[in-house]
Amino acid sequence: MRALIERIKQNIPEYRAYDEAATRNSIILPILSKLGWDIFSRDSVYPEYPVGSKRVDYSLRILGQNRFFIETKRCNVDLACHQEQLLGYAFHFGVELACLTNGITWQFFLPLKPGEWEQRLFYTVDFENQSPDEIEKFFVDILRREALEDRTAVEKAEDIFVKKNRHAVIKAVFPAVWKELITNPPREFLDVICDKIEKTCGYRPDDATAARFLLKVQRGQAVATTPTPVQDYTEVQTRSKQTGQRENPDLRKENALPVEKFMLRGVEIPLERTGSNSRGYFSEVLPKLLSILTEQEIQNLRDISFCRKHITMHDFPLISHEPMIDRRGYHRSWGKKISGYYVYSQWYQDSTLKLWKRYLLELAQKE
């Protein structure tokens, strides 16, 4: 199983060009075979299983019962448009577990749970970004034939689902609690803030000043901050006046420029870069954004039409699983991924930077 997973990870660029049939034969069926399913028997793996007038790509069956539905797409297909179709199939037959996959991404659902499809998604396997150990353990726990036969797969899925929902509820409550804290701050909260300010600058603000500042943060008003001098790398080397030799840039100190920041859903986000270091800026900002944005907001950042209008001004998204290359063959994204994505790199125009700043502020206004 491990060798198969590693082979799939190594060949992802090649697989992205495969059609649906090639994806099934090269990825889906070999994985099922390794997990104990007889892929040559309809009593075990039933292809094109009839669901009314429709068909589900695979039904995994044990003793004549449907235990698991799998719907497959080709590798370069976004799965977001197909979840409802799969869950409709599974719900119709009372199947407890289902998976939607393009071979690289595998979305696992508990179809009989209440709520919208995204609420019934309990786990996602991502061959591009997860380790072989993590992928193998999950497949063995949930998709192995023996695990479905003795129902331990359903039990583990239920456990993951409960934990995921608990985290989601806690995460959803954070903004309301934060809003209450900064709108009506208790004395001990103000004391912590005032103590920290006094230790930092030597002056202690009164409670009213601290409370007014918190209200500004709650309203999404940006706060200009000036970081303390930091040791930073610069691509421009200078010559020492004494020796005429080039100085080691790592030994130079630069005072960072004031950076305008704001609070978005409890997380401090810089609105602009320091100097011209766009990659460093997005390396800091993107992980924070991806942790607090909704699935739809993340999808917007991958959508060319949305980004052309609201962010990049060109026919490129902000983030993509594939490198961004224009018609002349020039790269328009940085070579190294940030948080699992290639990121648009053309941040030379003030108009583009203003669009990005406006996009962030509009996110804050939605709160």
- pLDDT averaged over the chain? 81
Instruction: Compute the distance between CA of residue 33 and CA of residue 35 in angstroms, rounded to an integer.
Output: 5
CB atoms near residue 97 (< 10 Å)? 23
Average pLDDT of the residues in 188-206: 85
Looking at residue 133, its pLDDT comes to 93
Average pLDDT of the residues in 89-100: 85
**Is the per-residue pLDDT at 139 higher than 70?**
yes
Long-range (24+ apart) CB contacts under 8 A made by 34-38 are 34/1, 34/4, 35/1, 35/139, 35/140, 35/143, 35/144, 35/145, 36/144, 36/145, 36/146, 37/145
Instruction: Compute the distance between CA of residue 120 and CA of residue 97 in angstroms, rounded to an integer.
Output: 10
Looking at residue 349, its pLDDT comes to 65
Looking at residue 320, its pLDDT comes to 92
Looking at residue 45, its pLDDT comes to 96
Angle, in degrees to the nearest 10, between helices 2-10 and 132-142: 130
Instruction: Compute the distance between CA of residue 272 and CA of residue 258 in angstroms, rounded to an integer.
Output: 10
Q: Is the pTM of this model over 0.75?
A: no
**Is the per-residue pLDDT at 156 higher than 70?**
yes
Q: Contact, 107 vs 81, CB < 8 A?
A: no
Dihedral sign for Cα atoms in the order 174, 180, 181, 182? positive
Cβ contacts of 104 within 8 Å, gap of 6 or more:
8, 12, 15, 16, 75, 126, 127, 128
Q: Contact, 300 vs 308, CB < 8 A?
A: no
Average pLDDT of the residues in 79-92: 75
**Tokens representing residue 213 in the block:** 């500042």
Write the pLDDT tens digit of every residue in 236-268. 334 444 444 444 444 333 344 456 777 888 888
Looking at residue 46, its pLDDT comes to 95
Site of tokens 């009506």: 184
Looking at residue 276, its pLDDT comes to 67
Element (H, E) at 126: strand 121-126
Looking at residue 29, its pLDDT comes to 95
Looking at residue 261, its pLDDT comes to 79
Q: Contact, 300 vs 293, CB < 8 A?
A: no
Instruction: Compute the distance between CA of residue 344 and CA of residue 319 in angstroms, rounded to an integer.
Output: 6
Write the pLDDT tens digit of every residue in 160-175. 888 877 777 777 788 8
Looking at residue 274, its pLDDT comes to 67
Instruction: Compute the distance between CA of residue 30 and CA of residue 13 in angstroms, rounded to an integer.
Output: 18
pLDDT tier, 301 (very low <50, low <70, confident <90, very high otherwise)? very high
> Which amino acid, residue 43?
D
